[in-house]
Structure 1
Amino acid sequence: MTDWTPVADAHGAVGRVPLLLDQVEREAVPEAWDELWDRLCLHGETVSAASFAALPRLAALAPACGQALELASAIVRGTLRHPDGEAALAGCPNELAMLRELVDQWLRTRPADYSRLFGDLLALAGQYHWSASMGDFADDFFAVSCPDCETEVTIAVGDHGCYAAVRDWDQGDTERRPLRPAQVEDMPDPGRWMHATADRDGQQRLAEGIRHVFGRAECPACASVFNIAEAHTTANLPPAIETY
């Protein structure tokens, strides 16, 4: 049983969140859900100690309540924005596994908001940096540092091309070099798992985008060739340890 006495929400208040959880457990009250979002995931991104304390109860509701699943997933996506987020999640591995399975089942239905749910799945798998940065590859850009010369390289993957470039705010992306997408059989996890999930669900643009960001790029400044995913991970956080 959680002691809510010292647990503050996004507004610094204590005691309100458990009352709201009691309310939505009895009946689906839209106003109560709106307030829970405001207190547990303010503006869709600000999480607090109360957010992680609420996860077990949200997970218990999630199999029968889409609101609970969406809110719980949004909280997990905000893990790295809270100093104790990863430690808090370590206390509820069973709930995270169940939420991950529920999101994966939802993805198999190929919903209209597939890209958002795919980001939820990445977060629930511990891939917080990919969850935060990956879109649907209609027009995605990643900023990485060349491992050899430390030049900031823009990686573009989308309808306007798949290339590495040096971004100039007046001239745009200059010195473009085509990316070298990975072969699926050569991709390590999490790339192989991410690609397999997107391919399973018929999301071919997403699957092809993943091949490119887990491929290699030529630095426009020094011509060295580097692993894009490794450069992206180095720039954002140490690699997450996960079994697929």
Structure 2
Amino acid sequence: MGRPPPPGLRADLRGRGRGEYGIGCPVCRSELFVAFHEEEAFASAGDHVTADPPRAPLLPADPERLDGIAPRLSGMARAAGRDGPARGLTYLFGEATCPDCGTVFPVSARVAERPY
């Protein structure tokens, strides 16, 4: 078995388990929520639970083109029979479009910049 992921990554994976993250748009700095749910995956400009803010669909990464730690995480999820988390990882390592300004950016880069 390999080394465990660093503490920050473990915290991020716990956030992924809930299916959503709060991040900021790298251009207009809008506070966004990205959500990976069974029925949909999207970025919203505001809290999608208590309101109906503008949304944009997330663009999943191609599982065959994942790089870095992503293929390992995806492979571990699939090997454990966890297809939902494996699918969610394609969104985590995919792209989001800011509903406010239209900027397309990598989700994982914004998640990695979150304070812990």
- TM-score, normalization by structure 2: 0.84
Structure 1 letter corresponding to 2:100: A
Instruction: Output aligned runs, 1:49-198, within 5 Å.
Output: 101=1, 124-126=4-6, 128-135=7-14, 139-168=18-47, 171-198=50-77
Note if contact 2:21-2:34 (Cα within 8 Å) is conserved in structure 1. yes
Higher helix share: 1
Instruction: Indicate if the aligned counterparts of 1:138 and 1:158 stay in contact, CA closer than 8 A.
Output: no
Given that 2:33 and 2:48 are in contact with CA atoms closer than 8 Å, whether structure 1 keeps it comes out as: no
Q: What does residue 219 of structure 1 align with?
A: 98
1:53-102, Cα deviation, whole Å (9 max, x unpaired):
xxxxxxxxxxxxxxxxxxxxxxxxxxxxxxxxxxxxxxxxxxxxxxxx2x
- Tell me the CA shift for residue 226 of structure 1: 0.3
Runs (4 or more) in structure 1 with deviation over 6 Å come to none
Contact 1:142-1:155 at 8 Å conserved across structures? yes
- Aligned-residue CA RMSD (Å): 2.5
Structure-2 separation of matches of 1:212 and 1:144 = 14
Superposed CA offset, 1:161-194 (max 9, x none): 2100012488525111111000122222221211
Kept in 2, the 8 Å contact 1:137–1:205? The answer is: no
Show structure 2 runs of 5+ residues with no match: none
Percent of aligned positions with the same letter in both sequences? 23
More strand by proportion, 1 or 2? 2
Distance 2:22 2:50 in 1: 17
Among 170, 195, 209, which residue is 2:88 paired with? 209
Larger radius of gyration: 1
Measured against aligned partners, the alpha-carbon deviations of 1:90-148 in whole angstroms (never above 9, x if no partner) come to xxxxxxxxxxx2xx7xxxxxxxxxxxxxxxx7xx222x333113349675110111111
Report the count of equivalent residues: 116
